[in-house]
């Protein structure tokens, strides 16, 4: 399942939840404490999204957006379960 996320690096704490944008272009907001230096924020995002979806870190891979705040991730999870969890996260 592909998930579009909007990253907020340098946050006071790591948090997955909320949405950025509206409609079909909405992205899941992921705040991470790591700074956007040498891929540290991206690595933290992959870990945080894995935890939020209840999968291991290796089940989450970066598809696009290595140096962008907007990233597309591939989460290896059942489609129905993943969609339900995504709706929960975006409304929290």
Contact 8, 30 (CB under 8 A): yes
pLDDT at position 22 over 90: no
pLDDT at position 81 over 90: yes
* Average pLDDT of the segment spanning 84-88: 95
pLDDT in tens, 25-36: 899 999 999 999
* Average pLDDT of the segment spanning 54-61: 96
pTM exceeding the 0.85 threshold for the entire prediction: yes
DSSP line for the chain: -EEEEEEEET-SS-EEEEEESSGGG-EEEEEESS-SSTTHHHHHHHHHHHHHHT--GGGEEEEE-TTSSEEEEEE-S-HHHHHHHHHHHHH-
What domains appear along the chain, each with residue ranges and CATH number? 2-91 (3.30.1200.10)
Rounded CA separation 66/43 (Å): 10
Contacting residues for 68 by C-beta, under 8 A, at least 6 apart: none
């Amino acid at each position: 399942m592909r998930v579009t996320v909007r990253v907020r690096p340098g946050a006071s704490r790591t948090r997955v939840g909320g949405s950025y944008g509206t409609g079909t272009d909405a992205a899941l907001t992921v705040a991470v404490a790591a700074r956007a230096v040498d891929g540290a924020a991206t690595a933290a995002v992959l870990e945080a999204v894995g935890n939020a979806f209840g999968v291991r870190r290796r089940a989450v891979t970066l598809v696009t957006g290595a140096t962008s705040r907007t990233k597309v991730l591939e989460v290896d999870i059942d489609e129905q379960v993943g969609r339900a969890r995504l709706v929960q996260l975006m409304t929290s």
